[in-house]
């Protein structure tokens, strides 16, 4: 699986800006995930999933790409989506606007709206 490396810029992204991971190793991390309070500690485990040693560090959002059951995930941060995600009724607004074509991923300090195929 290829994901944008942590801190990378999509506008200038090249292969060297990607993290290359073994999907089976990444998905195996689900077996040791103990909740949102441990997410920062999980990030260090992503390094054990890298198969291209020239890879950048995987993004903190790597599980979003590896754990969801879709062949492709577009995870972007457009201003309009951030406004919806930050709204008091963001989940409700997302459902009303997109009718299930856009998913809502809840979180403690943040939420994410992702289009999945």
pTM for the whole thing? 0.63
Rounded distance between C-alpha atoms, residue 110 and residue 58, angstroms: 19
User: pLDDT exceeding 90 applies to what percent of the chain?
Assistant: 10
pLDDT at site 92: 92
pLDDT tens string 38-65? 777 888 888 889 988 888 888 878 887 7
Does 109 have pLDDT greater than 50? no
Helix (H) or strand (E) holding 112: strand 112-116
């Amino acid at each position: 699986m290829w994901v944008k490396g942590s801190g990378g810029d999509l506008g200038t992204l090249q292969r060297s800006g990607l993290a290359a991971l073994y999907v089976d190793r990444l998905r195996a991390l689900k077996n040791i995930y103990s909740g949102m309070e441990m997410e920062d500690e999980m990030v260090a485990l992503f390094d054990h999933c890298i198969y291209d040693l020239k890879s950048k560090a995987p993004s903190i959002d790597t599980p979003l790409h590896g754990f969801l059951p879709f062949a492709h995930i577009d995870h972007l941060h457009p201003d309009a989506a951030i406004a919806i995600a930050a709204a008091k009724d963001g989940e409700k607004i997302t459902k009303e606007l997109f009718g299930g074509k856009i998913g809502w991923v809840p979180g403690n300090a943040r939420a994410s709206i992702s289009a999945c195929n």
